[in-house]
Structure formats: structure tokens, C-alpha cells
Amino acid sequence: MACLSTNSVSTHSLHHSSSVTRIPNASLSLLSSSPSIDISSLKCLRSSSSSLYFNQKLQRRSTMSHTINVGRTAVVPTCFASNTDQLKSAREDIKDLLKTTFCHPIMVRLGWHDAGTYNKDIEEWPQRGGANGSLRFEVELKHAANAGLVNALKLLQPIKEKYPGVTYADLFQLASATAVEEAGGPKIPMKYGRVDVSGPEQCPEEGRLPDAGPPTPGAHLRDVFYRMGLNDKDIVALSGAHTLGRSRPERSGWGKPETKYTKDGPGAPGGQSWTIQWLQFDNSYFKDIKEKRDADLLVLPTDAVLFEDPLFKEYAEKYAVDQEIFFKDYAESHAKLSNLGANFDPPEVCIYFPS
């Protein structure tokens, strides 16, 4: 998955640890480089099931209707789970947050990890996992693959408190898509109205997220992403988000302590990036992985396999030479991932926020 970096909150990747020991479920996502934060200080981690249920009831009663232009098509969404006006305002606040903290990578990672627990073979919600806001609870934040994501939650919590009519599930996906767009990536057609789980007992078990260095990278990626209902094109396109961010060996066991591209930040200095311009979303990830000419750029086993596996390579080669195709496929795959496992209320609403 993708990795991006932030100011005092930085980097990305599903690998984190306090030593250089590789963590099994530390993977393709964004590592946070911010200092550790006291989990107990976050109100959302201490929220009771009853209060969360009450808030969701309030959100459903605050139905709003607005006309939003999508290209040449005007849609009039009615959003029950989240208030449409508050979603739009929260997006603007997230854009301001990105400008001041450079937290694009960790926001992408937050959205991906909340959605990436989905299991298509489980029908029941929320047992099936997916984009349901469960990642706000301490029990899931403590999963090895989610190391550092409490920092992203800390950054978003003031926005959540300012806009209580937006669910955590929507806020996480809104922040992820906005981070990609604000880093120069494609506009992502997002759907909102995700219902939140009500308590930590509804969090998925650990072990559903990908690993960065499995013995058989190609088979591992397919095992994880096929379980979500995604395909080879999705795997390669989503891997391209590693154009953003850094990996830190003290958290994940992967990467160098610093390189010439990361020693001065922005944000907390250090770590190893996949690309030179690691806060810019483009197709340079595929170019750099293919060429492997710079020892200061990171190449994980799950990166290298994109040009080794013949089915993955078909897409990776295409994205390396054509950024427009990459952007198109990435936007589709990101939107698909963000909807996995979600319980939408109402189910038919699709909202796209133009720039």
C-alpha cells in the first residue's frame, strides 16, 4: 500500500516497530514518524458504546439535501450517517492540516488500514471488517501493522469534535482521499455515509493486513487483496501510492535511518523513501522501482515483485511510462478500497467534491 510522510507525523508503511526486528504484519502502507502519543488522551478510545450509538442516532436525524455537481451531472444526496455540509467543511479543514503538518502519507495509511481488514467471505457487518471506523479503538490501534496510526487519529480528533455529524469511518476515508489529491494525485470519486461500529468488541482480529517482506511476496499480496475482492490491477495500482512517504527502521525493521532525500524533512527528519520527491503523488514509484539505480531509495520485496511477476509486470510497466493511465486506475482502485465492508446509510449516495 502507500506510504506518505508528515511533518511531526510522517512516513508510511504497514511496518512499524521499536526495534529493527521485522514485524509480520508491517506492510505496504504509510509509517508515521511522529512522536508517540498517549493513547489514553484520546476521547474516542474511551467512548462507550451507548454514547456512540446516541451520536449515530443524531447523525441519522440530521438529514441534509444539497445539489452537488459531478462533471455535468447534478446529484442531490441525502446523507444519513454523515452530515453533507459538515463533510464539505471537514474536507477544507483537512486540506489546511495537510498544508501545515505534511501528514499526507499517514492519512492515506489510516484510511487504507481501516478499510483493508475486509473479508469478502464474511457477509455480516461488522464482522466482515472494512471501512467502519473501528481503527479508532485502542485494541485495533495496537495491532502491529497499525503502529503509529494513533498519531493520525490525534491529528484528526479536533476535526471530528468540530464536526460531530461526520462518522469516523467517513472521516478516515475523506482524509485519505484528500491527502492523495492534495499531493498532486488524481481526483477520487468518493462515496460517503459510512456507519461507525459502536465499540471495540466489534474490531477485527489482528492479521488481516499485508506484510512487507513475506517469503513469497506475489502469493502473499494476492492472498490478502483477493480476500478483499480486489484483483491484480488493484494490487499494482494501489502499490503506486508508495510514491509518497518513508519507512523508518526503528518502527518497521525496513529502510535506512536517513538518506540524502530525508535527512532534512519536511517534518521529522530521517527514514528511507521510495521516491526522491516523497510528498508528491506521481508515477515515479514505478520508474524508480524498475530502474533500481539509487541505493538511497527503498525497494521492499513486495515492491520488487511488481516487475518480477509476469501478471503484475504488465500493469507496472504501463504505469511507469503513462502517468495518466496510472492515475485513472489508481483513482478507481482507491475508491473501491475505501468502500470495502462499509455499511452505507443510505446505500445509494455518491458524493464527489470538486476542487
121: nearest Cα among 210, 217, 223: 223
Active-site residue, 15 included: no
Of 12, 104, 113, 242, the active-site residue reads 113
184-220 per-residue burial string, b: 16 or more CB within 10 A, e: under 16: ebbebbbbbbbbbbbbbebbbebebbbbbbbeebbeb
Kindly list the catalytic residues. 113
